[in-house]
Amino acid sequence: MDERIQASADSSGSGWFATTHWSVVLAARASPAANQAWEELCRSYWYPLYAYLRRDGQSPPDAEDLTQEFLARLIANADLQSVEPRRGKFRSFLLGTLKHFLSDERKKVRAQKRGGGQTVLSFDAEAAEARYELEPVDTLTPETIFERQWALTVLGRVMERLRARHEQRGKAQLFAALEPCLCGSGSALSYAALSAKLGMSEGSVKVAVHRLRKEFGDLLRTEIAGTVDSEAEIDEEIRQLIRVSGGL
């Protein structure tokens, strides 16, 4: 795991990443024309919000409607005007804003369907519920569910970027073969099997796995950097991600 999350800067070596989720938020607050990137962020992180609402006691239809309306308001900048440039962790901002929204909703008597019948972000509600049903039936709080699904969403975004990079390099087959090595330290037997499968020496396989883990770690740090307020918070956030996701 250490190889995958070792301290690293971006490829330019500048040490901090200019484009963060907060910069996207502030750009969207300032100009509706900047909403495309903001909408994409909402599209990426909707499921932790849905999972929170379901564990909070909302029925599947109500959780879907509430998630839609909450994101519609965010995309419309309705809840961004009070955001300050220094606002802490992006996930804390989203969860806090959702709780405030939910509190307001519970005080309202709705005269029409949530969201006015307008779907702003489309997502597969049936798939969302099927995914939610895989959650353990235990005493996990809505906040814990949100934190875990946030961590898994971050890891999923990193994995997709890593996969896309290898596809662009024409190495999709290599990535598919080595991807399981990101979930463990590997073994002599697995390296031997990979060597036979890929037609590479075991030494070459080990080097390829090391590079894959290093690149995964770099991309993970970049992704995490986009969700926190300062570079100093990256390692703390990675530790939290590992803790709530059950490890990498």
Q: What is the pLDDT of residue 176?
A: 93
pLDDT digits (tens, 9 = 90+) for 34-64: 566 667 777 778 889 999 999 988 988 899 8
In 107-165, beta strands by DSSP E: none
Q: What is the pLDDT of residue 21?
A: 61
Residue 157's contacts (CB-CB under 8 Å, 6 or more residues apart) are 44, 223
Greater pLDDT, 7 or 39: 39
**Contact (CB, 8 A) for 7 and 236:** no
Mean pLDDT of 217-238: 87
Residue 20 pLDDT greater than 60, yes or no = no
Mean pLDDT of 188-207: 87
Residue 134 pLDDT greater than 80, yes or no = no
- Give the C-alpha separation, 206 to 228, whole Å: 33
Helices (H), 35-89: 35-44, 46-55, 60-75
What is the overall mean pLDDT for the chain?
Answer: 75
Q: What is the pLDDT of residue 14?
A: 36
pLDDT digits (tens, 9 = 90+) for 62-94: 998 898 888 877 767 655 555 554 556 778 888
Mean pLDDT of 177-191: 73
Residue 173's contacts (CB-CB under 8 Å, 6 or more residues apart) are none
Greater pLDDT, 91 or 113: 91
Residue 10 pLDDT greater than 50, yes or no = no
**Contact (CB, 8 A) for 217 and 5:** yes
Distances (CA, A) of 38 to 25, 41, 79, 220: 6, 5, 13, 20
